[in-house]
Amino acid sequence: MSTKSVAREASEIRLATEMIRLGARLQVLQAETSLSYDRLARLYREVKKASPPKGMLPFSVDWFTTWLPNIHSSMFYGIYQFMDRYTPAKKSHALVEAYRLYLEQAHAGVLPGDASGEPVLSFTRAWMLVRFFDSGLLQLTPCGQCTGTFVAHAHDPQNGFICAICKPPPRAGKTRARRKAAEAM
- The three state secondary structure string of 66-131 is CHHHHHHHHHHHHHHHHHHHHCCCCHHHHHHHHHHHHHHHHHCCCCCCCCCCCCCCCHHHHHHHHH
- In this structure, is residue 54 part of a structural domain? no
| 69 shares its domain with 41 | no
Please give the pLDDT value at position 30.
95
152: β partners? 139
Residue 168's pLDDT band (cuts 50, 70, 90):
confident
- Contact of 141 with 150, CB cutoff 8 Å: yes
- In this structure, is residue 44 part of a structural domain? yes
| 32 shares its domain with 94 | no
| 37 shares its domain with 89 | no
Residue 114's pLDDT band (cuts 50, 70, 90):
low
Q: How many CB atoms lie within 10 A of CB 166?
A: 13
AA identity, residue 46: E
AA identity, residue 31: A
Model pTM score? 0.86
| 154 shares its domain with 96 | yes
- In this structure, is residue 125 part of a structural domain? yes
Total domain count, the chain: 2
| 70 shares its domain with 154 | yes
- Contact of 25 with 124, CB cutoff 8 Å: yes
**Span 48-62, mean pLDDT?**
88
pLDDT tens-digit readout, 77-97? 999 999 999 999 999 999 999
- Distance separating alpha carbons of residues 159 and 28, to the nearest angstrom: 35
- Contact of 16 with 40, CB cutoff 8 Å: yes
- In this structure, is residue 55 part of a structural domain? no
Greater confidence (109 vs 155) lies with 155
| 21 shares its domain with 105 | no
Residues 6+ away with beta carbon under 8 Å from 57 = 25, 27, 28, 124, 128
- In this structure, is residue 70 part of a structural domain? yes
| 20 shares its domain with 94 | no
Residue 178 lies in domain: 62-184
Greater confidence (160 vs 174) lies with 160
| 66 shares its domain with 39 | no
- In this structure, is residue 57 part of a structural domain? no
| 73 shares its domain with 44 | no
- In this structure, is residue 172 part of a structural domain? yes
| 166 shares its domain with 94 | yes
| 41 shares its domain with 89 | no
- In this structure, is residue 146 part of a structural domain? yes
| 73 shares its domain with 41 | no
Residue 110's pLDDT band (cuts 50, 70, 90):
low
